[in-house]
Amino acid sequence: MSAVLSAAERAVYACDPAQSRGRRFAELAAPTRSDFQRDRDRIVHSTAFRRLVYKTQVFLNHEGDLFRTRLTHSLEVAQLGRSIARALGLNEDLVEAIALAHDLGHTPFGHAGQDTLNECMAQHGGFEHNLQSLRVVDHLEERYPAFDGLNLTFETREGVLKHCALKNAQAIEAQEPGGVARRFLDRTQPSLEAQLCNLADAIAYNAHDIDDGVRSGLITMAQLQSVELFERYRVQALAEHPDLAQPQRARRLLYETIRRMLSEQVYDVIATTRANLQRAAPAHADAARLAGPLVAFSTEMKALAVPLKQFLFSQLYRHPQVMETTGHAQNVVRELYQAYVAQPSEMPQDYAHRADTHRAVADYIAGMTDRFAAREHERLTGRKWPA
């Protein structure tokens, strides 16, 4: 296998659009695009995708212009995913489609929004953002004359449904026997392209949360020196570029450290996965689904990533300043939920008239951007988001 494969050189275990399990509603093939390219294009043109620009990852959208949003995060996942896919001979178009769609179901205000909506919906089927991403592409987008949703291929939908509670998997399986939820019941893997997107997601957010965290002043380079995965590459960067030790070059030192950390993780995934693929030798995409997780970090890299995650969790995601905004965000989502359930007519007509009010409210709130949710909250309660 050559070190760099062109997009045309796909491996036997890659998903092949010509062998796709198809769409929920049959459509004629596009004259110039493969089915996975077409999925990617549909996702980019969707309403939910445009809203990602105003949805929070960790920092609220109005806190600063330089922080990642769900849109920039999704683009970074697609970029990392595609470069790894190219090296492994996987289908880049499918990886890109899954990566761009993977966060479409996220609520406003990041995990605070999702957890609160899940609590509100506890007696009404709950709320899971991965399942919501599937709902967005299967039902909530309204763009086509003949069907709801974007009518994506099985392979893209399979990748979008990254996790799923057992009871939700059973419900989907009942509606779509042998469909995208089946693997959660059979405990098999999704395609290699979907496995790759999960890893690219983690690589991307670990790196950009360090970047945004330091830039925001909530965590410092000095604190990060206790994290081996970071410190190793900081020391390496300083050894090669001693001038980066100057305080006015601190930003460059941060970027160079993160850049090396990202590259090493990417190379690690490629090398480990190549070895796994050589050992398992799946003859086609379905064989790869049955072979256990194949797209993976080495044991060493996996172990190194744990303290980084723990650091980010305790020092950034649980930082008092982040927790304070999290508290406001929870109140906004909870009070919006209560207001719409009490008065569904406060929602647009197509939500207000749905038979299942609770699910309609969850869908409506989940689709909101951070700023729209804050505005609606002010309209309905008369209270401003605390300055």
Q: Per-residue string for binding with Mg ion, 101-120, x by CB under 5 A?
A: --x-----------------
* Contacts of 175 by beta carbon, 8 Å cutoff, 6+ apart: none
By CB under 5 A, residue 209 contacts Mg ion: no
For residue 134 the two structure tokens come to 């599937």
In order of 115, 294, 330, the CA distances from 110 in angstroms are 9, 29, 10
CA angle 292, 302, 238 (to 5 degrees): 145
**Residue 1: HSE in the Cβ half-sphere, 13 Å Cα cutoff:** 19
Residue type, 375: R
Q: How far is the CB of 223 from Mg ion (least distance, A)?
A: 24
Toward Mg ion, which CB reaches closer, 160 or 244? 160
Q: Interface with Mg ion by CB under 5 A: which range of 41-49, 59-67, 177-185, 199-207?
A: 199-207
Closest residue by Cα to residue 191 from 230, 149, 161, 150: 161
Pick between residue 312 and residue 361 the one whose CB is nearest to Mg ion: 312
CB 365 within 8 A of CB 340: yes
Q: Which residue is nearest to Mg ion (CB)?
A: 201
In the complex with Mg ion, which residue's Cβ is closer, 201 or 363?
A: 201
Least distance (Å) from Mg ion to the CB of residue 128? 14
Is 193 near Mg ion (CB under 5 A)? no
Contact 92, 78 (CB under 8 A): no
Q: Is 158 in the site for Mg ion (CB under 5 A)?
A: no
Q: Using CA of residue 73, residue 75, residue 79, residue 82, what is the dihedral sign?
A: positive
Q: CB-wise, 155 or 201, nearer to Mg ion?
A: 201
Cα 331 to the center of its chain, rounded Å: 24
* Cβ nearer to Mg ion, comparing 92 with 103: 103
Write down the least CB distance from residue 103 to Mg ion, Å: 5
**Distance in angstroms (rounded) separating the CA atoms of residues 230 and 135:** 37
Q: Which residues are within 8 A (CB) of 339 and not within 5 positions of it... i.e. 6 or more apart?
A: 346, 380, 381
Q: Which part of the chain contacts Mg ion (CB under 5 A), choosing from 95-103, 233-241, 288-296, 373-381?
A: 95-103
- Amino acid found at 303: A
| Least distance in angstroms from the C-beta of 279 to Mg ion | 29
CA 230, CA 254: separation in Å to the nearest integer?
10
- Asked whether position 212 contacts Mg ion by CB under 5 A, the answer is no
Residue 201 touching Mg ion (CB under 5 A): yes
At its nearest, how many Å lie between Mg ion and the CB of residue 163?
Answer: 12
User: 131 or 339, CB closer to Mg ion?
Assistant: 131
**Closer residue to Mg ion, CB minimum distance, 92 or 201:** 201
93 binds Mg ion (CB under 5 A): no
- Choose the binding region for Mg ion from 13-21, 184-192, 197-205, 336-344 (rule: CB under 5 A): 197-205
Strands (E), the chain: none
**Closer residue to Mg ion in complex, CB, 182/309:** 309
Q: Which is closer to Mg ion, CB of 199 or CB of 254?
A: 199
Task: Work out how close the CB of 77 gets to Mg ion at its nearest, in angstroms, rounded to a whole number.
Answer: 6
Residue 3: count other Cβ atoms within 10 Å of its Cβ: 6
Give min distance, CB of 57 to Mg ion, in A: 8
Of the candidate spans 32-40, 194-202, 277-285, 328-336, the one that interacts with Mg ion by CB under 5 A turns out to be 194-202
Please give the size of the binding site for Mg ion, defined by CB under 5 A.
Answer: 2
Residue 248: CA count within 13 A, CB half-sphere? 0
**Residues contributing to the site for Mg ion (CB under 5 A):** 103, 201
